[in-house]
Structure 1
Amino acid sequence: MDETTVADGLGMIQDGFTGQRMLAVPRAAVAKALRHPVTAKLTVTDAGYFPHAVRHGRERPRGAREHLLLVCTDGVGWCRTGDARFTVSRGGAMVLPADRPHAYGASENAPWTLWWFHFTGADAADLVRAAHAATGGPVTHLRDPAPVASLVSQAIDALDSGLTTSSLVTAAGAAWHALAQVIATGRRAPGAGMSPLERAAEHLRATSPHRTSVAALASMVGLSPSQLNAIFRERLGVTPLQFQVELRMKRARELLDGTDLAVAAVARETGYGDPMYFSRQFARIHGMAPSAYRIRSSGAQA
């Protein structure tokens, strides 16, 4: 490995943060993706989410093999590139080019929460240069980091679904969109935008049926899990997890009404690996099994 774990003068520690997600694409799969006409332009090679990353950091004297995008949604950290050292807090985004020395790490007193991915491909260096030109350098500030964090989450979800061509293309699309967001919104002055509730709900709609933990969702929009639960209950009358179930069930009803998919296939399409559990959940909410719902729905349309 070409990197060491650092903590800006603190002792070494292995990665491992409660609630973290981290995925690495095998090098053989990366090489294959770089021969595909779409992912040849941009391929995500690694991606992750590190919440409250105590004593986390990296020092790469020769740089990384791929380019990096890292977005801080909570806490504080630092980044060093060349002779410059930057403080990074909520909204901080780092776009670090491949093969350039750099180091970064979490604050000791208020460790950051990071959403990140490594990327390569024929267009990757151009995207990095465009980001630096738009934002004034490798480190910038986003008025609202939640949309970019949401896109990183979507890239993680895509890779987590399996190393198929479709999943790698989906991850590449999310990564491209995330970098475009940084290019378009970096260094903007604070101003009005969506509320934390609106940003959280938008992420859940965009990523359904994938499940996002309350902790990850809260960090994305700059709230604590208890605060996020409270505003969901107050404004929508449900918890974030219940909101996700409602989105899944809405999709299930659409599939039962509009397709001939078997119930097991509907379960898979709505994020349930166990068809029996899906049927129990559906019956609990709708008062009838999915098959009975389909029969009644078909009869009502006749």
Structure 2
Amino acid sequence: MIRKKEGFEGERAIIIPPKIIAQYKGTPLTQEFYITDIGYYPKAKHHYRDRHEGSGEHILIHCVEGKGTAIVNDHEIRIEPNDFLIIPAMMPHVYRADPVHPWTIYWLHFSGRQSATMSQKLFEKMTSQQNKVMQNEQHLSLFDKIYDTLQQGYGRENMEFIALIIPYYLSGYLLNERFNHHQDKQAQDAINQAINFLKSRISQPTSLKEIADHVHLSISHFSSIFHKKTGYSPIEYFNHLKIQRACQLLQFTNQRIFEIALAIGIEDPYYFSRLFSSHMGESPKNYRNRWAMRPSS
């Protein structure tokens, strides 16, 4: 195995000095997420890393071309275009570019108080073979924004700016579908269609069958994919939307409680009060009174 020691043609890399990292890892805005290393390797032939003791930081690699392989804590992973590789801190690993079709990668090392949670979530996603990401110019432009900002130096504003960008950048891997969702540019999927349907039916009693019929799916299949994407059943989600609307009416109108109940499709005001209390932890009347006592802002 030939191991690359010198650079790759067209590569970019910034290694932040340990003194700078030590300075910012304890300050309020930068301590949650910070970068220690960042770079871009095009067609990185013979690229190879073997760290038996792992790395002190979490490592994220985004392959945009070519291929590579990795073994991370005994998990063997094949990396192809639009795949990401995440290596949590202190986890033994080996990775290498494919000898015939070497990968082109964007990579960074990151750490911080919240970084372990993010890294573990990404690791679980990767090991369940859900590490494919959609091509998105916005995502890669965020990488360039971070890199270009670091090139301007390690001043406080630069480092704080980067610290605030990193969670959003990482969300593009953890919640890729949501990150790439553009309602005005792409067809809505069944769940988004269903949610918009529910929002249009706030004032009307609506059955699960009506919702499933609207998106042309069986009740069982629709309920399954809805829960998988949102974490709630369709009816639970509908109730969330109803209570959200009720809160707005309590805050900004003088409508009586039974009128608000009717406005969100509930004819029984007592049932409305119980439903509201179960969601908000207090009765509609107490909610309105508490909101009225707040100072204007």
Deviations 1:33-86 (A, max 9, x none): 112101111111110011111111211100001011110011111111122211
Q: Secondary structure at the match of 2:163?
A: helix
Alignment of 1:65-214 (within 5 A): 65-137=56-128, 140-144=131-135, 146-185=137-176
TM-score by length of 1: 0.56
Report the CA distance between 1:12 and its aligned residue.
2.2
Q: Secondary structure at the match of 2:62?
A: strand
- State the alpha-carbon separation in 2 of the partners of residues 143 and 101 from structure 1: 28
Structure 1 residues 170 and 15 mapped into 2: Cα distance closer, same or farther (>3 Å)? farther
Report the CA distance between 1:140 and its aligned residue.
1.2
Count of equivalent residues: 183
Match of 2:10 among 16, 19, 23: 19
Report the CA distance between 1:134 and its aligned residue.
4.6
- State the alpha-carbon separation in 2 of the partners of residues 139 and 103 from structure 1: 20
CA contact (8 A) 1:53 1:106 kept: yes
Amino acid at match of 1:64: S
Structure 1 residues 171 and 114 mapped into 2: Cα distance closer, same or farther (>3 Å)? same
Tell which deviates more after alignment, 168-177 or 134-143: 134-143
Answering whether residue 37 of structure 2 is matched by residue 42 of structure 1, we say: no
Structure 1 residues 31 and 146 mapped into 2: Cα distance closer, same or farther (>3 Å)? same
- State the alpha-carbon separation in 2 of the partners of residues 22 and 170 from structure 1: 19
Report the CA distance between 1:87 and its aligned residue.
1.1
- State the alpha-carbon separation in 2 of the partners of residues 116 and 138 from structure 1: 19
Report the CA distance between 1:103 and its aligned residue.
1.1
CA contact (8 A) 1:47 1:152 kept: no
CA contact (8 A) 1:135 1:187 kept: no
Report the CA distance between 1:135 and its aligned residue.
4.9
- State the alpha-carbon separation in 2 of the partners of residues 120 and 156 from structure 1: 16
Report the CA distance between 1:147 and its aligned residue.
3.7
Report the CA distance between 1:175 and its aligned residue.
2.2
Alignment of 1:148-297 (within 5 A): 148-185=139-176
- State the alpha-carbon separation in 2 of the partners of residues 193 and 111 from structure 1: 37
Q: What does residue 254 of structure 2 align with?
A: none
CA contact (8 A) 1:72 1:145 kept: no
- State the alpha-carbon separation in 2 of the partners of residues 80 and 67 from structure 1: 15
- State the alpha-carbon separation in 1 of the partners of residues 110 and 61 from structure 2: 11
Report the CA distance between 1:143 and its aligned residue.
2.2
Q: What does residue 54 of structure 1 align with?
A: 45
In structure 2, stretches of 5+ residues that fail to align are: 187-297
Q: What does residue 247 of structure 2 align with?
A: none
Deviations 1:92-130 (A, max 9, x none): 101210000011111111111110111111111011123
CA contact (8 A) 1:135 1:186 kept: no
- State the alpha-carbon separation in 1 of the partners of residues 58 and 174 from structure 2: 15
CA contact (8 A) 1:90 1:145 kept: no
Deviations 1:108-164 (A, max 9, x none): 111111101111111110111232345555971112254433322221111111011
- State the alpha-carbon separation in 2 of the partners of residues 67 and 139 from structure 1: 19
Structure 1 residues 152 and 97 mapped into 2: Cα distance closer, same or farther (>3 Å)? same
- State the alpha-carbon separation in 2 of the partners of residues 154 and 138 from structure 1: 29
